Structure 1
Amino acid sequence: MRATIVGGGIGGLTAAGHLIRHGWQVRVLERADTLPARGTALGMWPPALRALDAIGVGDRIRSVGVPQSSGAILRPDGSTIARLRIPGDAILVSRPALLNALASDVPVEFDCTVDSIPTDCDVVIAADGIGSLIRDQMFGPRYRARPLGMAAWRGWVPGDTSTTTETWDAGALFGITPRDGGLTNFFAAVRVEPGADDDGITFLRTRFGGWHPAVREVLDRIDSESLLHHDLYHSPALPSYVRGNVALIGDAAHAMAPNLGRGACEAIVDGVALGRALTGSSDVEEALRRYDRARRRRTRLLVRGSAAMARVATTGRGRRVRDAALYVLR
């Protein structure tokens, strides 16, 4: 059996790894010229780690990543809204380290631009991200990802940290976590109109410079070379993740706000769920329907939940009630 995977990111490489382990012939077509050398830390929750185990890279991620068991939600003055325990094992790992592990046994064809759905294979897996051209061809432009009304800045600074915190205020948040390599990872989100101009570090230091010392210390160490900036989007509810012999996975199917930390995890789970469906049946279209039933409802709930959490974290109203509820539910 032959699969063509459009997109050599997290979901595409995971699906490729599973299919290759089960004897499939797989082509992975990636438009970039190499795997990225930059990228922020990603949380690997237990379902994602189990999926990584299924393709033989779970232990490698555990060895390079940073275990995460607790965290805190703070106010801009540094006072605590709630302290959180993270159930089960969870790992923070940088995107480059994760992609390198996923690509270790997967041949990737770089510099490949795909403008139409491939036809020379048994199944096409569209892992071409938030701006998926294949999704457009399957369902049309009405199902493109929509602006969340927020922009994000992510990066890392020298020196490590042993704590995980997220600081919430009206219209903005700032997170600080450990990262592999002895670095400190940070992420910021601000409610802005899509496409709003900013001047990077100056904007962040102006917006967050009055916050508590841990935030200011990170701001003082930011290097523009490591700073990533983009608008945030989330997907509308698609009528299906499959059509004919084509399946959507990851952000092509269910782009979500980062506030639950599940985007990368769900792309990994997608890849293994799809791989299991395909290797468990000789009927491709039946296998794809099984994948759709297994993943569409759950990921739609996460898309809605992530957007709701973004609103809760950056709300300008009812913060005392929110904080009290978080303290009780911690």
Structure 2
Amino acid sequence: MPKQRAIVIGGGIGGLTAAVALHRSGRQVTVLERAASLDPVGAGIALAPNAQRALDTVGLGDEIRSLAAWQGDGGLRDPAGRWLIRMNSDALAARFGGPVVLLHRATLIERLLSRLPDGTVRTGSPARLTDPGSATGRPARVAVPDGGTETEMEADIVVGADGIHSAVRRVLFPGHPGPRYSGLTTWRIVVTGVDGFDPHETWGPGRIWGSHLFKDGRAYAYAAAVAPEGEHADDERAELLRRYGDWHDPIPRLIAAATDGVLRHDVHHMIDPLPAFHRGRTVLVGDAAHAMAPSLGQGGNQAVEDAVVLAHHCAGGDLGAGLAAYTTDRLPRTARIVRRAARVFRLHSLTSLPAVTLRDGLMALTARLGPGAAVRAFDGIADWRPPHRTYAEPAPDGADGDGTRRLS
């Protein structure tokens, strides 16, 4: 009996995790990526225990943990450097079954690719969904360029993992308003030669900054600020110095070291949830389904969750029922997290001195409630556990077996 065919549109973290999970469930998978290569942008990703448990189900959890830095004790500061909240990494690990770990997105992409057969990913292949298919049997169809024409490919399931401005989503739900601008723009840098600091996030009037260290000693930093949509500076490094150059150490040092470029992107999020995450035989994962503000660090984490839950529900014989179960499972959870992230992002947007003073005072009050108070903000997020796996774990030598260790 021929294998069912899956096409994944988009080669980001959600798309590649979906490809790995569907491949492991016995499907023939093709990933179509518009970009000419899968070299990720220079940025980090923090994987909370929920995403690590999801990666455990595809045999990658331990490997990723070994390559990542444990996010140690740090916390929230004000621009002068005063600590508002000190985070306790041991308390977080005890509450949620493991630490938050940080690594470069390129590392995660590379490890996901290592789990796919050669030829699975086709770069330089923009794909267009021409027919979402039907739950009762009609396959989905995708058109890809072929010289000066297009070739259509059929699949039992198509996964739209094509990001915030998803073309697949617009085909499935043309009447949905889609993502909207959050009011904040973001910058990201990865630098070398800057160490000797505790991980932190710093909140100022209408601005934030975060500084962390990778396991290899490189520093990863991000910033966000209230700005008009679409605004860019001729020199983004100079723009960071203008906005953050008088903030506490190590922020000026990090900006000074950012000689290899600064990434800037506006933040869009999807406050209005979709009516479903699937239609026919086509399904959405990650930002295509539920773009969210980065304030909880859950965008990539939720994409990884999506991927393994999708493979779980589609492991049975009734694909229509499986996709419906995926929507039922994922839509309410991600909608709640989108709203929570938006609430925190609104705190980042405060610009008036009285509002900022009140916000910082409330943060300091939270710290006085004990080391676990800030950690409890991630209840209902980091404590998630994947559904029971319904497909076999292939051992390297082809023998039956599992061998995957999960977080507690």
Of 144-153 and 80-89, deviating more is: 80-89
Q: 1:48 is matched with which residue? A: 51
Pair 1:24-2:22 in alignment: no
Pair 1:96-2:106 in alignment: yes
**Which one-letter code corresponds to 1:323 in the other structure?**
D
Return the match for 1:109 from 91, 113, 122. 122
Larger gyration radius, structure 1 or structure 2:
2
Q: 1:255 is matched with which residue? A: 291
Pair 1:271-2:281 in alignment: no
C-alpha contact 2:269 2:293 (8 A) present in aligned 1: yes
* Cα distance between partner residues in 2 of 1:277 and 1:226: 42
What secondary structure does 1:27 align onto?
Answer: strand
Return the match for 1:221 from 257, 260, 268. 257
**Which one-letter code corresponds to 1:277 in the other structure?**
H
* Cα shift readout 1:21-73 (whole Å, capped 9, x = no counterpart): 12111111111121115321111011100111111111221111101143211
- Identity rate, percent: 35
* Cα shift readout 1:93-141 (whole Å, capped 9, x = no counterpart): 1110011111112221111111224521111110011111010011116
* Cα distance between partner residues in 2 of 1:186 and 1:6: 30
Pair 1:195-2:191 in alignment: no
Pair 1:170-2:205 in alignment: yes
Return the match for 1:7 from 7, 10, 32. 10
* Cα distance between partner residues in 2 of 1:306 and 1:61: 25
* Cα distance between partner residues in 2 of 1:220 and 1:298: 40
The CA deviation at 1:163 is 2.1
C-alpha contact 1:52 1:58 (8 A) present in aligned 2: yes
Q: 1:151 is matched with which residue? A: 185
C-alpha contact 1:169 1:314 (8 A) present in aligned 2: no
* Cα distance between partner residues in 2 of 1:94 and 1:226: 16
The 4+ residue runs of structure 1 with deviation greater than 6 A are none
* Cα shift readout 1:151-188 (whole Å, capped 9, x = no counterpart): 10101111345521111111111110112431000001
* Cα distance between partner residues in 2 of 1:129 and 1:221: 30
More helix by share: 1
**Which one-letter code corresponds to 1:100 in the other structure?**
E
Q: 1:299 is matched with which residue? A: 334
Q: 2:137 is matched with which residue? A: none
C-alpha contact 2:169 2:284 (8 A) present in aligned 1: yes
* Cα distance between partner residues in 2 of 1:69 and 1:184: 14
What residue ranges of structure 2 are gaps of 5+ in the alignment?
Answer: 94-98, 131-139, 142-153, 367-373, 375-408
**Which one-letter code corresponds to 2:182 in the other structure?**
L
* Cα distance between partner residues in 1 of 2:184 and 2:39: 24
C-alpha contact 1:3 1:125 (8 A) present in aligned 2: yes
Q: What's the C-alpha RMSD, in Å, of the aligned pairs?
A: 1.5
* Cα distance between partner residues in 2 of 1:79 and 1:302: 29
Q: Across the two proteins, how many residue pairs are aligned to each other?
A: 328
Pair 1:75-2:85 in alignment: no
* Cα distance between partner residues in 2 of 1:173 and 1:14: 30
**Which one-letter code corresponds to 1:247 in the other structure?**
V
Pair 1:137-2:178 in alignment: no
C-alpha contact 2:176 2:274 (8 A) present in aligned 1: no
The CA deviation at 1:220 is 1.4
Pair 1:232-2:267 in alignment: yes
What secondary structure does 2:176 align onto?
Answer: helix
Q: 2:96 is matched with which residue? A: none
The TM-score, its normalising length taken from structure 1, stands at: 0.95
